[in-house]
């Protein structure tokens, strides 16, 4: 199992779909589970929370719903890739309905400190994944620890905690290159 967190900020790039798809083709003989970031959909939830003081609990679940919109958007780009609510056992590429999964298997803090970065790490740990690939829109400076990366905003604040018991490799891909 390979878990790929696909940053929602990449959705704004005209050809990201083709670049991403060609980047994961090398894993076609494995199970690849895509955890889509919320992108602009999650940003809207953040803005509504700031304006209406929705609270972290409500915002958490709305943000997970935003990731469902991201999954459906990706399905439009890749019609042959299935959206799943449970962890697949078959080989192939799948997009996870993160809201449905965490409704059944919660166990993460409900706060803005937890984003799709940490959710992907939790899923990678739970599935005994061999690799977590963070496909994002920035380059990660090589010298940073994961705690420093969280402090600098490259990953969310909970990410160093989410990978505490990680037995998988973590790979960073700058999807804008």
Q: In the chain, where are the structural domains located? A: 2-174
For residue 71, give both structure tokens. Answer: 């999954």
Rounded to whole angstroms, the Cα distance separating 158 from 110 reads 11
Q: Domain 2-174's class?
A: alpha beta
**pLDDT tens for each residue of the chain, 177 residues long:** 999 999 999 999 988 888 888 888 888 789 999 999 999 999 999 999 999 999 999 999 999 999 999 999 999 999 999 999 999 999 999 999 999 999 999 999 999 999 999 999 999 999 999 999 999 999 999 999 999 999 999 999 999 999 999 999 999 999 876
Contacts of residue 132, defined as CB under 8 A and 6 or more positions apart, other chains included, come to: 2, 3, 4, 5, 120, 121, 124, 163, 166, 168, 169, 170, 171
What is the torsional sign of CA 109, 114, 115, 119? negative
* Residue spans of beta strands (DSSP E) within 7-154: 31-36, 82-84, 92-96, 131-136
pTM confidence score: 0.95
Phi, then psi, of 38 in degrees rounded to 5:
-80, -25
Residues near 170 by beta carbon (within 8 Å), at least 6 away in sequence: 131, 132, 133, 134, 146, 163
């Amino acid at each position: 199992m390979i878990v790929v967190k696909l940053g929602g900020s990449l959705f704004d790039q005209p050809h990201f779909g083709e670049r991403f798809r060609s980047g994961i083709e090398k894993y076609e003989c494995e199970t690849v589970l895509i955890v889509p970031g919320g992108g602009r959909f999650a940003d809207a939830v953040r803005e509504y929370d700031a304006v209406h003081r929705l609270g972290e609990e409500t915002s958490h679940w709305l943000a997970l719903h935003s990731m469902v919109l991201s999954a459906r958007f990706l399905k439009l780009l890749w019609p042959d890739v299935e959206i799943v609510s449970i962890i697949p056992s078959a080989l192939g590429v799948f997009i996870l309905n993160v809201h449905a999964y965490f409704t059944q298997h919660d166990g993460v803090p409900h706060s803005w400190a937890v984003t799709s970065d940490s959710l992907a790490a939790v899923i990678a740990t739970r599935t005994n994944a061999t690799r977590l690939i963070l496909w994002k829109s920035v380059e990660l400076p090589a010298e940073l620890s994961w705690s420093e990366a969280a402090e600098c905003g490259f990953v969310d604040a909970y990410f160093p905690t989410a990978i505490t018991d990680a037995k998988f490799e973590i790979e960073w891909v700058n999807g804008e290159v």
